[in-house]
Structure 1
Amino acid sequence: MERRGAGLASFGVFVALALIFSYIETLIPFQIGIPGVKLGLANIVIVIALYRMPVKEAYLLSVVRVVLSGFLFGNLMSILYSLAGGLLSLTVMWGLKHVKSVSVLGVSIAGGVFHNIGQLLAAALVVETYGVFSYVPVLLVSGLVTGLVIGLASGEMLKRIRGIQF
């Protein structure tokens, strides 16, 4: 019983950190004119959770973060697009995490790229046109760059919290 309470408290801390990073991101003026391009600071928490928590909890954390931050800082459409991108991204990252030759950095870069692919797939279904795929080149580059930044930050955090029990 005590162990479960500690796990729940850790989960709550991860949700709070993800929401704080989501809020900080709203304060950073980062616009390149393409819908869906964001820094994705909250994904630092998701990558760390992927490596430090059971995968079911990482998925739950991702969904809770998207829904709460969508209601706090976005709208229903942002929740839909973020869920599509986030769940595809997390699934790809979880699969790559088990490949010995892929580092945290590689996992995160793939996550950034597949997050954008998931959002594009959702957008194509919502607007019922394949015209959204004209954004593919820019979104692939932005996913690669943001995945790199998130991967560097996540890798450093994972090194620093290695001895902490969750």
Structure 2
Amino acid sequence: MKNSIATKTAYYGVLIALALIFSYVEVLIPIPIGVPGVPGIKLGLANIVILIGLYVMGTKDAFIISCIRIVLVGFTFGNMFSILYSLAGAILSWLVMVLCKKMKGLSIVGVSIAGGISHNIGQIVVAALTMKTPGILSYLPVLLIAGTITGFVIGILVDIILKVQTKAFK
């Protein structure tokens, strides 16, 4: 990506806007995955944007975009607890994805799966701590499966998007 301030600012704006749109769409989609009573299962559509940011703009920029998205979505559609849970998941997910991206031979799909799983771990741990209910950790196996599936799908989508984007901007 070109390093001009205008280009970077425009890219930030596009990615943040897309992340907000994906987050809004996700709020509208009910997830009756056959696991009644298991909170926290979401598609993670905004992670498409974070993963693109990570691979196109870099680690710092992906982190900033993620944090801005969480705060804006939290104040728009959620509350302070949703911001706290989302930040916990996003920070752990970002850290794990950054580390996984550095591993030789791990594809975007693998990085995305690791991000999806770690996001759910971060959120459930914070939920258990804030609610002082360790029993909530019993949801973890289902959330790990959901994180794996959504991470896989999102990783494939991002891989396709990056290939198309690379061809379009050559």
TM-score range, shorter chain: over 0.9
The aligned amino acid for 2:69 is: R
Deviations 1:35-83 (A, max 9, x none): 1110011110001111001211110000001111111122211111010
What is the Cα deviation at residue 164 of structure 1?
6.0
The aligned amino acid for 1:29 is: P
Equivalent residue number for residue 31 of structure 2 = 30
**Residue in structure 1 matching 2:118, options 100, 104, 114:** 114
RMSD: 1.4
What is the Cα deviation at residue 24 of structure 1?
1.2
Corresponding residue pairs, total: 164
What is the Cα deviation at residue 163 of structure 1?
4.6
1:40 and 2:29 equivalent? no
For residues 27 and 85 of structure 2, what CA distance do their matches in structure 1 show? 17
The aligned amino acid for 1:54 is: G
Distance 1:122 1:164, change over 3 A: farther
Which has the larger displacement, 62-71 or 2-11?
Answer: 2-11
SS of match in other structure, 1:161: helix
What is the Cα deviation at residue 125 of structure 1?
1.5
Equivalent residue number for residue 6 of structure 1 = 7
For residues 101 and 124 of structure 1, what CA distance do their matches in structure 2 show? 35
1:9-158 correspondence to structure 2 within 5 Å:
9-31=10-32, 32=35, 33-158=37-162
The aligned amino acid for 2:30 is: P
What is the Cα deviation at residue 101 of structure 1?
1.3
For residues 122 and 74 of structure 1, what CA distance do their matches in structure 2 show? 16
For residues 4 and 119 of structure 1, what CA distance do their matches in structure 2 show? 34
Aligned-residue identity in percent: 54
The aligned amino acid for 1:21 is: F
**Higher RCO, 1 or 2 (CA under 8 Å, sep at least 6)?**
1
In structure 1, the gaps of 5 or more residues are: none
Structure 1 segments, 4+ long, off by >2 Å, are none
In structure 2, the gaps of 5 or more residues are: none
